[in-house]
Amino acid sequence: MVMSDQNKRVLALSIAREGKVHDKRQLDAEKLVDCVPDEVPIHVDLGFQGLQKEFVNILIPDKKPRGKELTEQQKQSNREKSSDVFDNPFGERVKCEHTISGIKRYKAATAVSRNHILDLDDRFMLLATGLWNFYLMAA
């Protein structure tokens, strides 16, 4: 799990989880949102459903109701939230996805390594994240 700012810089990184773990369950275990002030908006995707009930600063897209369709207003709202327009404050979610893809450019963070070294995958991810932040600082 990655927390980034509007400049695509990584602010927080969670440890790797083995197997399938729901996004919200992992976030609850990491307690990353607890340290963010209420004045700072947090843009999340639909994997964090229910988080908006716990915190006031969560911005989440509208979910399609079961057996129904979203209204045109809800669809337009979701498009605005996911767009990458420069002056759009809701485009932050896309910037986080760009951050993750920037980290994954360093193949060590995504490649399968067969070894018995404890937490090697976390070390690779931390190293790739540091290189990404350094790249952003130097560019």
pLDDT in tens, 30-52: 887 777 888 888 888 888 888 88
Confidence of residue 139 (pLDDT cuts 50, 70, 90): confident
**Full-model pTM:** 0.74
Alpha-carbon distance values, 62 to 23, 40, 75 (Å): 17, 20, 8
pLDDT of residue 86: 47
pLDDT of residue 132: 94
CA distance 86 to 84: 6
For CA atoms 57, 59, 62, 66, the dihedral sign is negative
Torsion of CA 136, 83, 48, 111, to 10 degrees: -50
CA angle (45 as vertex; 42, 48 as ends), nearest 5 = 80
